């Protein structure tokens, strides 16, 4: 009896040790200021090891029962409480696994910026990792908020690494502002949840029964707060600015992991801390999620900056995850526990997948950036020839995020769609109306994601180099390749062994929904509900594919021949064609721009046909900025103008204020 208990305690100690380890690394980075080379070769690999360690802790946490501990720091009545249960364990695995690949890549990536503020960067980087881990471990509101803001703050400083550029400063400012407003609303949410008399541990929150009204208030506040971090439309505006601004490994971590911490928080508050769930929350979340997904993917399709494109696609994925969240809520409140379990599994699975493929894609763009110094797709192309490793590994990520079998992106979408098909018989008729539309939207988003990825990959890696300098682009170094290799392998394995993964997710699902999937199937065949209902066998699929390809190749070579002649591209006999005749990123965006013109404000300047150096600039702005944020800014400006009127320098008037206040109080306040 006692032995497992002690074991758990140790697990949590180890987790906390991992956090401290990262903190120590960050601190020690400052002392290596003088030795940038050593810094990169030593600190980052060590950090990567830490990530691996944390992932291991997470796996252990999934297997062991929940354990908690109290740290000697924090507020007097409120020391830091830590807790490691299945939910935090799963996200720890996500964090560690993704961070490992990214950090290994970083070890290579940051060599380029030796001489820069590398020491500070390394410090903030590890502080960021530690902060995210703490968010997952925290078991009281104060610890959670501290970790949450440390995460935001460190990432802010990382985003503004290159603070000489005004746009980057603006991006960082927008990011930190929205993060802070979100944090305050989280504070309010915890204020509602607290048991009163200043007890903020999650345990008392679980115990404290909240009236439905206040529960809804807390949920909405939490949705706002976490949505601001996750990039939920219309709180997403910072995301496409901040993620591209950061150094690529950072973009990878922010997109791949940090957004997930918001999902973690949402799950924690909704299913763990709140005593009840209400149906309309689910509908709201579902609607918001679908809007976000569609919005994100549409804007991803019209971007012409590769990191920006990926950032928008992150918004899309968050949208899908949120939709799954909403669906889980609906099923939960409808008393369809098994379906809730299914959607939750899809949610977690997709979160994990996104961490891998989005991390992979971002570090891929990092290597491209590193090799070419170019982010604008209009100046890239044909890199598959000069940097094959990067290209082929990125291809895995692109196919995975496009949701193509047999990679991992497909599995989670498959699970989610299955859930949609199981909906008939919900109590509210309106849900029965909503579900098909929702399913259609998800499908549409997935299809558009494929469009986006073909655009991304084709323009950046295929075709003719749009810039002669690109022919000399050098391949990524070994650390970078290793990092991408790890992440790519993750995408493949998660795609090929869904049953095992789902078994690992099982404790989390049981903890949150109190239910388990009706069936999982064997290692080969994934049958989430029942064999008759639906089945998917990626391994068989892959084998079949391989067999057919092999046979075909064999047969073609045997029966006929393998002779190949090389020549100039035919291109319908057009002789002098050059790289600028290829479709540009803008060109690829054009149809989408036409179809979904309502969402965006298009600005473009088209060159004069006789221009020798023609320049084309097409820019599709986000209308939300105009419709939501501009008015808010104007309103504040107006109000502050009015407030300024009070302060007009005349002492007599100031005396009048005091006088009036005095009289007023004498009249009314007695």
- DSSP state, residue 670: -
CA gap 585, 605 in Å, rounded: 15
3-state SS, residue 75:
strand
Copy the structure tokens of residue 638: 């107006």
Residues in 155-194 that interact with other proteins by CB under 8 A: 160, 163-164, 166, 169, 172-173, 176-177, 180-181, 184-185, 187-188, 190-192, 194
Single out the residue of 468, 567, 605, 615 in contact with other proteins (rule: CB under 8 A).
567
- Using CB under 8 A as the binding rule, whether residue 564 contacts other proteins is answered as yes
* Nearer Cβ to other proteins (519/544): 544
Q: Phi and psi dihedrals of 451, rounded to 5?
A: -55, -50
Residues in 404-463 that interact with other proteins by CB under 8 A: 404-405, 410, 414, 417-418, 420-421, 424-425, 432-433, 435-437, 439-440, 443-444, 446-448, 450-451, 453-455, 457-459, 462-463
CA gap 570, 627 in Å, rounded: 49
β-pair partners for 536 = 526
3-state SS, residue 607:
coil
* Nearer Cβ to other proteins (615/641): 641
Binding letters toward other proteins, positions 464-493, x by CB under 8 A = x-----------------------------
CB of 148 to other proteins, least distance (A): 8
Residues in 195-254 that interact with other proteins by CB under 8 A: 196-198, 200
3-state SS, residue 362:
helix
* Nearer Cβ to other proteins (612/650): 650
Residues in 103-162 that interact with other proteins by CB under 8 A: 141-142, 145-146, 149-150, 152-153, 160
CB of 596 to other proteins, least distance (A): 10
**How big is the site for other proteins, counted in residues (CB under 8 A)?**
149
Single out the residue of 34, 115, 468, 574 in contact with other proteins (rule: CB under 8 A).
574
Stretch that binds other proteins, among 86-94, 107-115, 270-278, 565-573 (CB under 8 A): 565-573
* Nearer Cβ to other proteins (103/160): 160
Q: How far is CA 264 from CA 214, 272, 438, 543, 592, in A?
A: 21, 11, 23, 36, 33
CA gap 352, 456 in Å, rounded: 22
Which of 103, 53, 97, 94 has the alpha carbon at shortest distance from 363? 103
Single out the residue of 540, 597, 626, 627 in contact with other proteins (rule: CB under 8 A).
540
* Nearer Cβ to other proteins (415/508): 415
**Which ranges in 303-382 belong to alpha helices (H)?**
306-333, 337-372
Torsion sign, CA atoms 375, 380, 384, 387: negative
Single out the residue of 20, 545, 597, 627 in contact with other proteins (rule: CB under 8 A).
545
CA gap 50, 62 in Å, rounded: 18
* Nearer Cβ to other proteins (2/567): 567
Which of 4, 31, 253 has the alpha carbon at shortest distance from 123? 31
Stretch that binds other proteins, among 48-56, 271-279, 478-486, 538-546 (CB under 8 A): 538-546
- Using CB under 8 A as the binding rule, whether residue 568 contacts other proteins is answered as yes
Q: Decide: residue 41, CB within 10 A, 0-12 exposed, 13-18 middle, 19+ buried.
A: middle
HSE-up of 498 (CA within 13 Å, CB side)? 33
């Amino acid at each position: 009896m006692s032995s497992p208990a002690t074991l758990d305690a140790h697990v949590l100690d180890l987790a906390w040790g991992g956090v401290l380890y990262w903190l120590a690394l960050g601190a020690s980075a400052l002392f290596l200021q003088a030795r940038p080379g050593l810094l990169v070769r030593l600190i980052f690999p060590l950090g990567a090891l830490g990530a691996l360690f944390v992932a291991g802790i997470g796996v252990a946490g999934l297997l062991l029962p929940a354990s908690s501990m109290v740290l000697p720091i924090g507020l007097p009545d409120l020391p830091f409480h830590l807790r490691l249960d299945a939910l935090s364990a799963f996200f720890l695995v996500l964090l560690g696994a993704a961070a490992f690949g990214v950090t290994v890549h970083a070890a290579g990536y940051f060599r380029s910026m030796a001489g820069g503020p590398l020491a500070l960067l390394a410090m903030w980087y590890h502080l960021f990792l530690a902060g995210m881990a703490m968010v997952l471990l925290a078991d009281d509101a104060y610890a959670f908020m501290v970790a949450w803001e440390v995460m935001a703050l460190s990432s802010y400083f990382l985003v503004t690494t290159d603070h000489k550029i005004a746009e980057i400063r603006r991006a960082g400012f927008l990011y930190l502002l929205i993060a802070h407003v979100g944090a305050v609303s989280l504070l309010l949410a915890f204020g509602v949840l607290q048991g009163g008399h200043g007890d903020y541990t999650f345990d008392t929150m679980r115990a404290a029964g909240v009236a439905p009204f206040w529960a809804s208030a807390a949920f909405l506040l939490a949705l706002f707060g976490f949505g601001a971090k996750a990039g939920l439309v219309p709180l997403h505006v910072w995301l496409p600015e901040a993620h591209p601004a950061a150094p690529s490994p950072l973009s990878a971590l922010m997109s791949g992991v940090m957004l997930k911490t918001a999902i973690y928080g949402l799950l924690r508050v909704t299913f763990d801390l709140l005593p009840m769930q209400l149906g309309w929350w689910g509908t709201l979340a579902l609607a918001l999620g679908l809007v976000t997904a569609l919005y994100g993917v549409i804007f991803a399709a019209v971007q012409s900056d590769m990191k920006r494109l990926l950032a928008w696609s992150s918004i899309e994925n968050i949208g899908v995850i949120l939709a799954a969240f909403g669906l889980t809520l609906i099923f939960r409140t409808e008393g369809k526990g098994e379906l809730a379990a299914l959607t939750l599994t899809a949610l977690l699975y997709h979160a994990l997948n996104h961490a891998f493929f989005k991390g992979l894609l971002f570090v891929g763009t990092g290597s491209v950036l590193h090799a070419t110094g170019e982010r604008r797709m209009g100046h890239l192309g044909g890199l598959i020839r000069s940097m094959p490793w990067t290209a082929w590994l990125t291809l895995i990520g692109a196919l995975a995020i496009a949701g193509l079998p047999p990679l991992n992106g497909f599995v989670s979408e498959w699970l989610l769609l299955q859930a949609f098909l199981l909906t008939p018989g919900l109590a509210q008729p309106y849900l029965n109306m909503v579900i098909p539309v929702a399913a259609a939207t998800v499908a549409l988003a997935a299809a558009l994601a494929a469009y986006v990825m073909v655009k991304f990959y084709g323009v950046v890696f295929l075709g003719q180099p749009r810039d002669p300098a690109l022919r000399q682009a050098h391949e990524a170094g070994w650390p970078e390749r290793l990092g991408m290799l790890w992440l790519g392998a993750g995408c493949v394995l998660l795609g090929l062994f869904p049953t095992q993964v789902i078994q690992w997710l099982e404790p989390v699902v049981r903890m949150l929904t109190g239910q388990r999937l009706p069936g999982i199937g064997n290692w080969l065949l994934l049958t989430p509900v029942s064999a008759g209902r639906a089945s998917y066998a990626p391994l068989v699929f892959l084998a079949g594919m391989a067999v057919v390809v092999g046979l075909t190749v064999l047969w073609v070579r045997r029966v006929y021949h393998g002779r190949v002649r090389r020549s100039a591209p035919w291109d319908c006999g057009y002789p002098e064609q050059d790289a600028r005749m290829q479709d540009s990123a803008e060109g690829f965006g054009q149809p989408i721009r036409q179809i979904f013109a309502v969402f965006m404000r298009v600005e473009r300047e088209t060159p004069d046909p006789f221009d020798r150096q023609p320049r084309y600039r097409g820019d599709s702005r986000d209308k939300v900025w105009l419709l939501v944020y501009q008015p808010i800014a104007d309103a504040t400006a107006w109000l502050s103008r009015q407030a300024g009127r009070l302060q007009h320098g005349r002492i007599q008037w100031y005396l009048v204020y005091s006088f009036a206040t005095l009289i007023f109080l004498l009249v009314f306040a007695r």
